[in-house]
Structure 1
Amino acid sequence: MDTDWDEAAATFDEEPDHGLLDPAVRAAWDERLGSWLPERPGQLLDLGCGTGSLSLLAAARGHRVTAVDLSPRMVERARAKLAGTGARVLTGDASRPPVEGGAFDVVLARHVVWALPDHEAALRHWWSLLRPGGRLVLVEGVWGATGIPAECLTGALARLNAVTRCERLTGDAQLWGREVDDERYAVIATASGA
């Protein structure tokens, strides 16, 4: 059990880009997700889902969501937020989620890769969770001395023979609820030939 994330659960949604409580911030994330996710709804795995805000947006787009978080308190809040959507919310380690391989059209993770002890092993495992033609959607950044640079993440994905597209997100204040000047980006990865 990760007590730090458990303790953060009570106030996690107060950050504009976590809770998506501001309609403008929620709309900005919904628009971005719409450009990153397949048009045709499918099976989506949200790793390190927190309180389930992105899972909720994906479910509203028709995706069948499985959400995973290590923190039981985050999972509890995500279950409440996702009630009535048909989403499954599981407690588990994002690096090795308690799901079957080859079952997902999308694996989504926002601000998770940087916190993993072995991000390359996690990416290899996540890649194995995708169906043929599936995609990884990873939102990451560098905040001071914390985070993972885009080049590091795209390099790790290249070793998986992934075709990647990197989208810079720093300049989009709507996503964050304020201006930010640190490195924030999304990487969308698919198998070469997909």
Structure 2
Amino acid sequence: MTDLTATIVGYWDAVAHAFDDEPDHGLRAEVTRAAWDRRLRAWAPPGPADVLDVGCGTGSLAVLLAAAGHRVTGVDLAPQMIELARGKMAAAELAGRFLVGDAAVPPTGDERFDMVLCRHLVWTLPDPHLALREWVARLRPNGRLVLVEGCWGEAGPVVPYVPGAETLVWGGGVRASELASAVRPLVFDLRVERLSQDSELWGGPVGDERYALIAYT
């Protein structure tokens, strides 16, 4: 583990217990939870599917996917996030598996999935291009990669959230056009859904670029 990675783990462990205070993290409001549920049901493959949620955080989206009947594996580098995710899934009386590990290179061995989901993670990764290749490699034929991302630097310079984060490739977020260019050579097809105007997803209006990129293998 590099010094930067260790610092990142420490940061997310420290904020884990306040993570769900953000409306789109905790999904505590019914309208926000329902908005994410609708999107996930539209993005996921039909029928029960094997879903890998990379950078799963406290597991809010994993719980929604499990409630929709999917078999979910969540991966996060921060042990405190995984502990909370396991508790959240158990409280919902749903089945799901959560692993502590590098979301960029998920510790799932030779397993293959019908869908890989990633929300607001690529901006934290030292090598997001490596992660994209790893995620696509874990998909079955006719699988789908769903990346919910945004460009946080639109309003001005982004202050690094930990020392060393100024070196991150997409530390201020990434525009849909740039992410699509990175993903397109790896997949059969892709599309982008704009999400900035769907305030129900975020608990209120947002002024930056937010979107979902759905890619098909």
TM-score (norm 1): 0.95
Contact 2:187 2:215 in 1 (8 A): no
CA distance in 2, matches of 1:41, 1:169: 26
Shift of 1:100: 2.6
Task: List, as ranges, runs of 4+ consecutive aligned residues in structure 1 with deviation greater than 6 Å.
Answer: none
Which of these residues, 7, 13, 17, is aligned with residue 10 of structure 1?
Answer: 17
Structure 2 match to 1:28: 35
What is the aligned-residue RMSD (CA, Å)?
1.0
CA distance in 1, matches of 2:200, 2:188: 29
How many residue pairs were aligned? 191
Structure 1 match to 2:99: 90
Contact 1:45 1:108 in 2 (8 A): yes
Structure 2 match to 1:106: 115
Structure 1 match to 2:147: 138
1:166 maps onto 2:179 in alignment: no
Shift of 1:161: 3.4
Shift of 1:15: 0.3
Cα distance change, pair 105–189 in 1 and its aligned pair in 2 (3 A): same
CA distance in 2, matches of 1:35, 1:77: 26
Shift of 1:102: 5.1
**Partner amino acid for 1:130?**
L
Contact 1:101 1:128 in 2 (8 A): no
Which of these residues, 160, 172, 183, is aligned with residue 157 of structure 1?
Answer: 183
Contact 1:51 1:75 in 2 (8 A): yes
**Bigger fraction of residues in helix:** 2
Shift of 1:111: 0.3
Secondary structure of 2:144's partner? strand
Structure 1 match to 2:57: 50
Structure 2 match to 1:116: 125
Provide structure 2 residue ranges, at least 5 long, that are not aligned to the other structure.
1-5, 159-171
CA distance in 2, matches of 1:75, 1:40: 26
Which of these residues, 201, 205, 212, is aligned with residue 175 of structure 1?
Answer: 201
Shift of 1:173: 0.5
Provide structure 1 residue ranges, at least 5 long, that are not aligned to the other structure.
none
Identity across aligned pairs (percent)? 54
